[in-house]
Structure 1
């Protein structure tokens, strides 16, 4: 049993900041008020010239600021922070996510008691806590991921259960699991990197849990508008990369036509919304990564213990759930407890 309130740091919390001064203070204050005190925070500052950290005032000795010379992106920034620590759990917390006082205690208890390799939090909308910002990431066999339950009533938040992968805005990973898969794929820069690492953990036999009682209030899109060319590009390219890189052979062959069709549909929609050029470039760059993707697939084939059937069981096959962007949280399996 892990001692949640001992003296040895139990968790390394990574915050990757990029021009989030308006929200970072609430995030840090929330951490300082946690019921579990034995953690360290590595604040990776991707915009030191902006002075975001300077506005926080004095930080206690659990906090280490790591200023970067430029914007490393979320994926690399998270890896930089994680490499600084040695605690048994690696925790990701967005700078625009304000944690409840028992957030970390609940999250640690959840991952320890279930034996999961990764776990996520209940994310409430900071501007309207009566609505969900997300309850776990779901993944369709055609290669589309979504934050389950976005903008749904918070009173309908699912009970603790299995999810495909946690949203990295407020997530936790066992360090040995995180290190075994090599952390986040830095080529992704940001967006979909949490689904990608979750997929790779599942390929090694791990599973994810969505923890109902671990709560954060999340602003979302604090450093970039959700329909900006930056977001459209990385979301589109990384969606293709995640599918091509991770999907086991038989499932890839079966679902590739549907994946092509859905990406064509996104291209048509982008034309209507005057985002075609960005979406087209992202699509080309997604397919253009095939060379390194093939190398990654060979490595994944060498290390994976779960094949097409096992992965298929964890996917969300219902078109209705996909269209509604509903959560897909399943009862804990035998041997797992809340």
Structure 2
């Protein structure tokens, strides 16, 4: 199968310098692309000088994660895209299990590998861990990570199994399925755009899979720090937009008002623990969501199916 490894870059020369040699050495006979989101550092000249085998796609401006990939991937012809964060270390034979899984089932649209923490290498990493799910209230979580609780990797997720969403830090997807959904929702800019895309794929009858036979190590927070109020803003706004786009109407009627209440409490909590900027970020997120409301409604698909997973599994398995 024809595979292209595609790294989105914005002012990330230091990450490219640190991790790109590892990606190239462990991806023999595989094309590697860097989509540059109009960086203002010397990322592009650095790539041209030091990595002549890497193909460069230059976007006219910084479109964010979602729009940046949408724009850049128009220039890349490949059967499979591997959308890879610049702060990722890959391992030997990380590609083969993924391609074999794609070949085994034509309805599999996207796959993620096991994602471990680059700095605590025996533990799962926050952004994806061992495959993502959605609870009854619309909050994302992962096998190997629930809220701030990170599990040690002891082989408990060395399986290959269907999941709800695959992490954007290492996101393998068939190009035909990516474009059938018109790619990422560029209004998200960054954060949860891969969950939204996976949900749309599932609503269209496709499958999302995880394979524990492939492993990567992710630094995390390389482009936007976990404590950033902007990250809080994007996560709250994008999560509400994702629910409005993908949930069946009967669920939306009760869930959205309830989430407004929960987000209010969450905003107060974040304001008290992380500072007023985070409280204000939640307020801004709701305002932005209201402004996008009509456009989001227009993007609702034809098929909304109840495919999220429920709080009982979450609470009883991990906290009792």
TM-score w.r.t. the length of structure 2 is 0.88
Q: Which residue, 130, 138, 141 being the options, matches 2:136? A: 141
User: Cα distance, 1:212 vs. partner?
Assistant: 0.6
1:283 aligns with 2:286: yes
Residues in 1 aligned to 2:309 and 2:265: alpha-carbon distance in whole angstroms: 20
Residues in 1 aligned to 2:317 and 2:34: alpha-carbon distance in whole angstroms: 35
Deviations along 1:277-299, whole A, 9 cap, x unmatched? Answer: 111111221233111011112xx
Contact 1:316 1:322 in 2 (8 A): no
**Structure 1 residues 35 and 69 mapped into 2: Cα distance closer, same or farther (>3 Å)?**
closer
- List structure 1 segments (4+ residues) > 6 angstroms apart after TM superposition: 322-326
Q: 1:73-92, aligned counterparts within 5 Å?
A: 73-92=64-83
For 1:152, the equivalent position in structure 2 comes to 151
For 2:15, the equivalent position in structure 1 comes to 23
Contact 2:9 2:37 in 1 (8 A): yes
For 1:6, the equivalent position in structure 2 comes to none
Contact 1:14 1:81 in 2 (8 A): no
**Structure 1 residues 261 and 28 mapped into 2: Cα distance closer, same or farther (>3 Å)?**
same
For 1:121, the equivalent position in structure 2 comes to 113
Contact 2:11 2:40 in 1 (8 A): no
**Structure 1 residues 256 and 49 mapped into 2: Cα distance closer, same or farther (>3 Å)?**
closer
Task: Tell me the matched-pair count.
Answer: 306
Structure 2: any 5+ residue segments left out of the alignment? none
Q: 1:133-282, aligned counterparts within 5 Å?
A: 133=125, 134-150=129-145, 151-158=150-157, 159-273=159-273, 274=275, 275-282=278-285
Deviations along 1:46-97, whole A, 9 cap, x unmatched? Answer: 2532123444543243x21123343221111111232112211121100001
For 1:96, the equivalent position in structure 2 comes to 87
**Structure 1 residues 157 and 189 mapped into 2: Cα distance closer, same or farther (>3 Å)?**
farther
**Structure 1 residues 229 and 259 mapped into 2: Cα distance closer, same or farther (>3 Å)?**
same
> What secondary structure does 1:131 align onto?
coil
> What secondary structure does 1:43 align onto?
strand
For 2:25, the equivalent position in structure 1 comes to 33
> What secondary structure does 2:50 align onto?
coil
**Structure 1 residues 119 and 325 mapped into 2: Cα distance closer, same or farther (>3 Å)?**
farther
Residues in 2 aligned to 1:318 and 1:162: alpha-carbon distance in whole angstroms: 18
* Structure 1 vs Structure 2 CA RMSD: 2.2
Contact 2:59 2:71 in 1 (8 A): no
Residues in 2 aligned to 1:36 and 1:243: alpha-carbon distance in whole angstroms: 40
Q: 1:56-67, aligned counterparts within 5 Å?
A: 56=47, 57-61=49-53, 63-67=54-58
> What secondary structure does 2:265 align onto?
helix
TM-score w.r.t. the length of structure 1 is 0.83
Residues in 1 aligned to 2:317 and 2:234: alpha-carbon distance in whole angstroms: 23
**Structure 1 residues 36 and 321 mapped into 2: Cα distance closer, same or farther (>3 Å)?**
farther
Contact 1:75 1:193 in 2 (8 A): yes
